[in-house]
């Protein structure tokens, strides 16, 4: 995203600082989450695509992420990490069980898909990332990538 500062001077690109950069990431993530259902189009209404609620906690060396995916088995959870971008997906299929000796006249089943993408403030070391699923809540431990800190150069 390029921001343009308007003034009497010719247009020049605005390079946000640390505070503006964090705000920009927050706004970008908010708009992506808000417009995700519209981007899915008919898949949103037909397949029951939901956006799970997230808790993201930052520790000294890692991020801890919890997402609500009720009814999803661990085999059906997918987590993708691309630099600072994390995507969590899951699918839950429920069908009515037919008991022996019953004649089914009408049966319904439900499928629910969950998907959520978000951007973290720093890159993730995907080699050290861990994921667990307990009671429909995936818990991710995403260590921060080393060397992300700013360096000071000596002028010679």
The reported pLDDT for the residue numbered 111 is 81
Structural domain contains residue 2: no
- Parent domain of 19: 12-143
Q: Which helix (H) or strand (E) holds 37?
A: helix 18-40
Q: Of 87, 83, 80, 78, which is closest to residue 121 (Cα–Cα)?
A: 83
Structural domain contains residue 76: yes
The reported pLDDT for the residue numbered 143 is 92
Rounded Cα distance, 23 and 48, in Å? 31
Rounded Cα distance, 61 and 76, in Å? 28
Structural domain contains residue 148: no
The reported pLDDT for the residue numbered 16 is 52
Question: Which pair of tokens denotes residue 18?
Answer: 């640390």
CATH of the domain at 106: 2.60.40.790
Torsion sign across C-alpha atoms 59, 54, 37, 82 = positive
Structural domain contains residue 30: yes
Specify the number of domains making up the chain.
1
Structural domain contains residue 81: yes
The residues near 18 (Cβ < 8 Å, ≥ 6 apart) are none
Structural domain contains residue 152: no
Count of C-beta atoms within a 10 Å radius of residue 48: 14
The reported pLDDT for the residue numbered 56 is 93
Structural domain contains residue 39: yes
Question: Which pair of tokens denotes residue 62?
Answer: 């890692």
Could you list the mean pLDDT of each consecutive 10-residue stretch along the chain, which spans 156 residues?
51 52 72 60 52 90 90 88 90 74 73 89 88 88 76 67
CA 70 to chain centroid, in Å, comes to: 16
The reported pLDDT for the residue numbered 152 is 67
């Amino acid at each position: 995203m390029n921001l343009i500062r308007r003034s009497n001077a010719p247009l020049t690109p605005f390079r946000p600082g640390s505070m503006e950069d964090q705000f920009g990431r927050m706004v970008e993530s908010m708009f992506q989450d808000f417009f995700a259902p519209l981007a899915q189009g008919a898949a949103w209404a037909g397949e029951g695509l939901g956006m799970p609620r997230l808790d993201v906690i930052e520790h000294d060396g890692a991020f801890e992420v919890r997402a609500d995916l009720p009814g999803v088995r661990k085999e059906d959870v997918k987590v993708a990490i691309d630099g600072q971008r994390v995507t969590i997906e899951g699918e839950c299929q429920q069908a009515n069980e037919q008991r022996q000796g019953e004649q089914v006249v009408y049966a319904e089943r439900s499928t629910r898909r969950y998907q959520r993408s978000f951007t973290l403030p720093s890159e993730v070391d995907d080699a050290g990332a861990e994921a667990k699923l307990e009671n429909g809540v995936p818990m991710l431990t995403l260590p921060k990538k080393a060397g992300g800190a700013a360096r000071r150069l000596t002028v010679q």
